Copies of this chain bind each other. A is one copy, B any other.
Amino acid sequence: MKNIKLKMARVEKDLTQEELADRVGVTRQTIGMIEAGNYNPTLNLCIAICKALDRTLDDLFWAEDQPETDN
């Protein structure tokens, strides 16, 4: 499940994946995979992304139709 909300929040801030990655302290690949959806980031990284994009966890990482309850 691609994280389209994250991508939209990023482009709305006019940031590239690499710029966001720099601000958040990870590599652009990590951001890319989170947006692509085949990834399970840590909470601290999610929070850092939210703060970089002026959003909250629910804004970017919460979906009403959550996929599975796997850890």
Contacting residues of chain A (8-65) with chain B, CB-CB under 8 angstroms: 24-26, 40-48, 50-52, 56-58, 61-62
A43 touches B44 (CB 8 A): no
Q: Report Cα–Cα, A24/B70, bound state, in Å.
A: 8
Known: A43-B41, A44-B40. A24 touches B69 (CB 8 A): yes
Q: How many of chain A's residues have a CB under 8 angstroms from any CB in B?
A: 24
Q: A25 to chain B: closest CB distance in Å?
A: 5
In the complex, what residues of B have CB within 8 A of residue A47's CB? 61-62, 66, 69
Instruction: Give the one of A26, A43, A46, A61 with max B CB within 10 A.
Output: A43
Q: List 7 A-B contacts (CB under 8 A).
A: A41-B42, A42-B71, A43-B46, A47-B61, A47-B66, A56-B57, A57-B57
